[in-house]
Structure 1
C-alpha cells in the first residue's frame, strides 16, 4: 500500500492508452452509467471514453471523457479543438451532443483554458470567432471544415457549462476511483463503514437466527416460537441483538471490500477466519450456545493476514461466522 503522493506519480506516468483504460474502468464504477465504451484509433470522432446514461446509447444522453496525458498542462488549442470535433460530429448526426464533456488532464489545464471553462459564454464565443484557428483544420485530416451558419447555430445552442476539467487530485478523491486505484496501484481502500442492524429482522437473517433460537431453546429446555420471543428474554435478548450487530457489520465490511478491492481478498479473509475457528467449533461443548460463544471468542481472537486484515474489526470477524451459518458452512448442532 502506498500514499496519495505515490498514486499521483503513478497516474502521471501513464501513457495515453493507459490513461484511457484507467478512466474507462473508473467510469464503469459510476452508478449513473448503464454502459461505458472506449473509442480508440481513427474514427473516434473526438470520443475517448463514453459513459451512456440510457440504453439508447448515442441516441440518448451521454458523457464524454476526453483523456490527454501531457508533460504539461492541457493547452488551450487542444481543448478547443477536441470539443469542436465532438460538436461537429454531433452536428453531422453521428451522435447526440454530449450532456457533459470532461477534460481528463492529470496535470491540469492551462490558465487560459481554465478561464474559458469557468466562463462558458466566453468559451462559446472564442470557439465561434476562432474556429478557423482552432478547429477548421484539425477535425478531419487534410480537410477544411468551415463554420457555416447551420454549424454555428448548432454550437451556439449547446450549453458550454457542461464542460468540466478532471485533474489527478479529483481522481484520487472520487469514491468510484478507489477500486481502480487498488487494481492498478494497490491503493489502500481505507476502512469499511460500520454496519447497522435494522430494527426489523430481515428475511436474509432467518437462517442464522434460527440457529440461535435453537441454541436458546436447548439451553432453556423450551423452544422459542420466534425471534420476537427471544428478543424479550432477559438473557438471550441482549445476546441476539449483539449477534445481529455483528452480522450486519460483517455484511457492510464484505460489501465494501468486494466493491473496492477484489472478491479474492474478501474470500481469503473469510477463509482465514474459517480456519481460525475450525477446532473450536469442532470441539466438545456443553450445548449449542456454549459452542456459539466459544466460536465468537475465538473469531475475535483470530489474527488473519492479507490486505484487509487490519480493517477486520472484532465484530466483523464474529459476524462472518453468522454468514457461514447462513451459507451452510457452519452448523451449531453437530
Structure 2
C-alpha cells in the first residue's frame, strides 16, 4: 500500500511525500525496490506528478543490509538502478525506448529522496500526532504547573472579569472595574485572585493538550461541563455570587466517561472551564 502526504492543496502537483509500505515476511531487498523506483520515476517523467520530496520504504521486517546501505549512498543507489535498467531487469522488457527515457530522467533525479523508516521510528513520530493517544490507547502525560495569572489581565480575560466585577458590585457594593481598584476590598480581591487562577489552570490545560488529542476534544469537554452545570445555572438564585458558587461546586460533581481528557483533568481545571464558558457568554452570573 502506498501513502501520499501532501503539503498543499496542489496535491501531486506540489510538494508531497511518498510512503511505500510493503508487508513482506522478509526484509526488503534491492530487487524489491527497483520496480518501485522505476514506477515513481516513470510517472514523474511523464508529468503525471512531480517527483516526491521524500520516498520512504517501510516494512515490518525492515530493510536488508544491502538496500539499507544503498539508501545511505544515493550515488551508489542510482548507479545500481541504472545498471539493472540497462540490463532489462526492471521496466517493460520489450520497450527499450521507455527504459532509455527513464534512464535519462534518472540521471538528473536526486536519489537522496529514497529513504527508509523503521516501525519504531514511525511510532516515535506518531507520538506527536493528536491521534496517537486514541489509536494506541496510551495515557496522556501530566500537564505542567498552571501559568500564574499576570498582574495585568490579558485581553482574553475581559469578559469573564467583567462578569466577576458585576458579581462583586452586587455582593459587596463595590464600583471597581479593574483588579487595581478591587484591591481596596480584600475579600473580593482574594476571591478574584482564586478565580483567575482557575481560569489559567484551564488555559494551561487547554493549550498543553491541544496538539495531543484529536481536534475539538477540549471543546467537547467544555460542552459537557456546560451540560453538567446548566440546570444549576438556570435556577433562581438570590445573587450572582450564589449562582457562581453553586455552579463552581456543581462542576466538581461532573463525572464523564467519554472524553480523552477526563483521565488528566483536575478540580481546578473544571472551575476554570466554567470561567471560560463565562468568557464565551455561555454562563452569566448576574441576570
- Common fold by TM > 0.5: yes
1:275 aligns with 2:225: no
| Unaligned residue ranges in structure 1 (runs of 5+) | 1-15, 17-47
> For residues 128 and 264 of structure 1, do their structure 2 counterparts lie closer, same or farther at Cα, with a shift above 3 Å needed?
same
- d(CA) in 2 for partners of 1:231, 1:120: 69
Q: Distance between the aligned counterparts of 1:232 and 1:92, measured in 2?
A: 77
Paired position in structure 2 for 1:224? 176
Cα deviation code 1:195-222 (max 9, x no counterpart): 6467454444322221112122333312
- 8 Å Cα contact 1:60/1:96 also seen in 2: yes
Corresponding residue for 1:311? 264
Q: Larger relative CO (CA 8 A, sep 6+): 1 or 2?
A: 2
Rate the CA distance shift 1:92–1:83 in 2: closer, same or farther, 3 A. same
Q: Does 1:215 align with 2:180?
A: no
Distance 1:156 1:230 in 2: 75
Change (3 A) 1:73 1:212: farther
TM-score, with length taken from structure 1:
0.68
Q: Which residue of 1 aligns with 2:240?
A: 288
In the alignment, what sits opposite 1:187? 137
In the aligned structure 2, how far is the partner of 1:114 from the partner of 1:320? 51
Equivalent-residue separation in structure 2 for 1:260 and 1:224 (angstroms)? 40
Instruction: Determine whether 1:321 maps to 2:274.
Output: yes
Measured against aligned partners, the alpha-carbon deviations of 1:117-164 in whole angstroms (never above 9, x if no partner) come to: 222222222222232568633xx697566643x644532333333333
Q: Matched residue of 1:304: which SS? A: coil
Q: Provide the TM-score with structure 2 as the length reference.
A: 0.77
Q: Distance in 2 between matches of 1:302 and 1:158?
A: 60
CA–CA distance in structure 1, aligned partners of residues 280 and 89 of structure 2? 60
Which secondary structure state, in structure 1, belongs to the residue aligned with residue 272 of structure 2? helix
Please give the residue correspondences for 1:1-334 in structure 2 after superposition, counting only pairs within 5 Å: 16=1, 48-132=2-86, 136-137=90-91, 147-148=99-100, 151-175=102-126, 178-181=129-132, 185=135, 187-188=137-138, 190-191=140-141, 193-194=143-144, 196=147, 199=150, 201-227=153-179, 229-230=181-182, 234-237=186-189, 239-251=191-203, 253-254=205-206, 256=209, 260-261=213-214, 263=216, 267=220, 270-271=223-224, 274-275=227-228, 278-279=231-232, 282=235, 284=237, 287-300=239-252, 302-306=254-258, 307-334=260-287
* Residues 173, 151 of structure 1: alpha-carbon distance in 2 compared, 3 angstrom cutoff: same
SS at match of 1:222: coil
Using a 3 Å threshold, how does the CA distance of structure 1 residues 144 and 157 change in structure 2: closer, same or farther?
closer
Q: 1:262 to 1:53 in 2, by over 3 A?
A: closer
Describe the superposition over 1:35-73 as per-residue Cα deviations: whole angstroms up to 9, x where unpaired. Answer: xxxxxxxxxxxxx33223344433332222222222333
Change (3 A) 1:201 1:166: farther
> Relative to structure 1, is the Cα distance of residues 80 and 177 closer, same or farther in structure 2, using a 3 angstrom cutoff?
farther
Q: Following TM superposition, by how much is the alpha carbon of 1:321 offset from its aligned partner in structure 2, in angstroms?
A: 0.8
Alpha-carbon distance change, 236 to 174 in structure 1, aligned in 2, over 3 angstroms = farther
Q: Give the unaligned 5+ runs of structure 2.
A: none
